[in-house]
């Protein structure tokens, strides 16, 4: 049978042998190292340092780091395959493993050779973490409203302000911090810096207690008169907003892939349970009310994955994928929420109980509609790309 590739359209859904091997590695890791501890780590909000170390050892951390720095130089599709499988295991533990991409990507995109060589290779040598310190207590969706300031003083900047909901912040060795160097300039006054977590004046204010993805450390940070050499500024003053947006364009497909993994896990549990659960003398899977829910789950998971792969593929071609990344993030996050909610429904009273797996998946799914831009922000980005397209 002729494939799309063979007929020259350039569209192929087939993974290469290398990609299949990577997916299998991530799946096996999720099955053996993540799933067995997921419920316990969720209950106690345990930081999964041991699982992170194992993921690092088998090469599942930082796959995106460039090969000239000793990294694997893998792109969006590889990141999506890893993200889906690890989140199929547990999105709380998986987020702790994969979130380095957010902290590191601004350096890959905008760092000088010297900055990249100083900060990125250590991530390959040891399982150390870095965080993307963008969000603030009063600036979440509205990035241009960032209040943290960086005031130039000779060859240094002095940073003051607070950050909120920062993934891995309580465990990170360094942060990519976004601060305003010119308040009057709004988004054009934002600038990015690399700040080590042990710099004087940096405090992890609070480890936050979350509804879901509880194995991921999420913390609030404070910066009080933190002195940062100008050599740790990424790009020029005023480029921070664009660096943040370009980073999110690259990371949203991987996060969307994680949502697909959570949805797939809930779907598999729902299928198995509806085959086994007997009511009115027959498995509940016989009922159209149940099997239509399952049919919709399957179709929407598949559609979400295709959107993820499209966005990731475009990024791998070096194309701008703002629109496609937001399609993927919006659709996959909302799909994860819907599928996990329907899985709880299929399990009925058991689904609402903590001893069954779908309750955790529903709590975990909710965060995909919030972090890396809410589902409403993704719609805003999509609408702007339709009505006010940028070059």
Q: How far is the CB of 35 from ligand CAA (least distance, A)?
A: 22
C-alpha–C-alpha distance, residues 244 and 61, integer Å? 21
Strand partners, 35: none
C-alpha–C-alpha distance, residues 343 and 269, integer Å? 8
> Which helix or strand (DSSP H or E) is residue 350 part of?
none
Residue showing the smallest CB distance to ligand CAA in the complex? 373
C-alpha–C-alpha distance, residues 26 and 30, integer Å? 6
Query: Where in 308-367 is the site for ligand CAA (CB under 6 A)?
Result: 322
* 220 contacts 205 by C-beta, under 8 angstroms: yes
Structure tokens at 300: 């929407």
Q: Output 188 or 277, the one with its CB closest to ligand CAA.
A: 188
> Which helix or strand (DSSP H or E) is residue 37 part of?
helix 35-44
Determine which residue in the list 3, 16, 112, 141 makes contact with ligand CAA, applying CB under 6 A.
141
Q: Is 277 in the site for ligand CAA (CB under 6 A)?
A: no
Q: Is 219 in the site for ligand CAA (CB under 6 A)?
A: no
Q: Is 13 left (phi over 0), alpha (psi -120 to 50) or beta?
A: alpha
Determine which residue in the list 26, 52, 102, 339 makes contact with ligand CAA, applying CB under 6 A.
102
C-alpha–C-alpha distance, residues 265 and 259, integer Å? 10
Catalytic residue, candidates 33, 136, 359, 372: 372
Can 372 be counted among the known catalytic residues? yes
Q: What share of the chain is helix, strand, coil (3-state, %, to 5)?
A: 60, 15, 25
* 84 contacts 261 by C-beta, under 8 angstroms: yes
Q: Is 381 in the site for ligand CAA (CB under 6 A)?
A: yes
Q: How far is the CB of 117 from ligand CAA (least distance, A)?
A: 25
Determine which residue in the list 91, 148, 162, 167 makes contact with ligand CAA, applying CB under 6 A.
167
Q: How far is the CB of 181 from ligand CAA (least distance, A)?
A: 15
- Binding piece for ligand CAA, criterion CB under 6 A, among 77-85, 174-182, 193-201, 246-254: 246-254
Could you give the 3-state DSSP secondary structure of residue 202?
strand
Among 81, 65, 82, CA closest to 73: 65
Q: Output 25 or 128, the one with its CB closest to ligand CAA.
A: 128
- Binding piece for ligand CAA, criterion CB under 6 A, among 16-24, 258-266, 344-352, 375-383: 375-383
Q: What is the CA radius of gyration of the chain?
A: 21
Q: How far is the CB of 387 from ligand CAA (least distance, A)?
A: 12
Q: Output 221 or 381, the one with its CB closest to ligand CAA.
A: 381
Q: How far is the CB of 102 from ligand CAA (least distance, A)?
A: 6
Q: Is 147 in the site for ligand CAA (CB under 6 A)?
A: no
Q: Is 234 in the site for ligand CAA (CB under 6 A)?
A: no
Q: Is 267 in the site for ligand CAA (CB under 6 A)?
A: no
Among 91, 61, 48, CA closest to 333: 91
Query: Where in 103-132 is the site for ligand CAA (CB under 6 A)?
Result: 132
Determine which residue in the list 144, 224, 279, 376 makes contact with ligand CAA, applying CB under 6 A.
144
The sign of the CA dihedral 109, 110, 112, 117 is negative
Q: Is 143 in the site for ligand CAA (CB under 6 A)?
A: yes
Report how many residues bind ligand CAA under the rule CB under 6 A: 26
Determine which residue in the list 33, 84, 342, 372 makes contact with ligand CAA, applying CB under 6 A.
372
Determine which residue in the list 35, 152, 187, 366 makes contact with ligand CAA, applying CB under 6 A.
187
Backbone angles phi, psi at 205, to 5 degrees: -80, -40
DSSP, residue by residue, 263-306: HHHHHHHHHHHHHH-EETTEEGGGSHHHHHHHHHHHHHHHHHHH
Q: Is 207 in the site for ligand CAA (CB under 6 A)?
A: no
Q: Is 135 in the site for ligand CAA (CB under 6 A)?
A: yes
Determine which residue in the list 30, 290, 371, 375 makes contact with ligand CAA, applying CB under 6 A.
371
Residue 149 burial (10 A CB sphere; 0-12, 13-18, 19+)? middle
Q: Which residues bind ligand CAA (CB under 6 A)?
A: 99, 102, 132, 134-135, 141-144, 167, 187-188, 241-242, 245-246, 248-249, 322, 371-373, 377, 380-381, 390
Q: Which residues are catalytically annotated?
A: 372
């Amino acid at each position: 049978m002729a494939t799309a590739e063979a007929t020259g359209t350039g569209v192929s859904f087939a993974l290469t042998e290398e990609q299949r091997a990577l997916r299998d590695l991530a799946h096996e890791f999720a099955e053996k190292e993540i799933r067995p501890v997921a419920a316990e780590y969720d209950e106690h909000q345990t930081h999964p340092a041991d699982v992170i170390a194992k993921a690092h050892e088998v090469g599942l951390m930082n796959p995106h780091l460039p090969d000239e720095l000793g990294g694997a130089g893998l792109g969006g599709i590889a990141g999506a395959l890893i993200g889906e499988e690890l989140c199929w295991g547990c999105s709380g533990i998986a987020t702790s493993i994969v979130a380095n991409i957010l902290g590191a990507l601004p350096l890959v995109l905008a760092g000088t050779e010297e900055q990249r060589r100083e900060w990125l290779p250590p991530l390959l040598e040891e399982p150390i973490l870095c965080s993307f310190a963008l969000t603030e207590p009063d600036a979440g969706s509205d990035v241009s409203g960032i209040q943290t300031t960086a005031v130039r003083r000779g060859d240094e900047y002095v940073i003051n302000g607070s950050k909120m909901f920062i993934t891995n912040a309580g465990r990170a060795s360094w942060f990519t911090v976004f601060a305003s160097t010119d308040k009057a300039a709004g988004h054009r006054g934002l600038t990015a810096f690399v700040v080590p977590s042990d710099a004087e004046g940096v405090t992890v204010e609070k480890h936050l207690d979350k509804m879901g993805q509880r194995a991921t450390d999420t913390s609030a940070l404070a910066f009080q008169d933190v002195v940062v050499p100008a050599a740790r500024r990424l790009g020029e003053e005023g480029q921070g907003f664009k660096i943040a947006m370009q980073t999110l364009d690259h990371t949203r497909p991987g996060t969307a892939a994680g949502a697909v993994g959570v949805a797939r896990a809930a779907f598999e549990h729902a299928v198995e349970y509806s085959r086994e659960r007997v009511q009115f003398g027959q498995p509940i899977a016989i009922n159209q009310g149940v099997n239509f829910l399952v049919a919709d789950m399957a179709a929407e998971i598949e559609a979400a994955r295709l959107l993820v792969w499209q966005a990731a593929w475009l990024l791998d071609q070096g194309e701008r994928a703002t629109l496609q990344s937001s399609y993927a993030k919006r659709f996959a996050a909302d799909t994860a929420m819907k599928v996990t909610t329907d899985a709880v429904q299929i399990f009925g009273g058991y689904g609402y109980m903590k001893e069954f797996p779908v309750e955790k998946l529903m709590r975990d799914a909710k965060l995909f509609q919030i972090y890396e831009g809410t589902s409403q922000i993704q719609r805003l980005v999509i609408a702007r790309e339709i009505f006010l397209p940028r070059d």
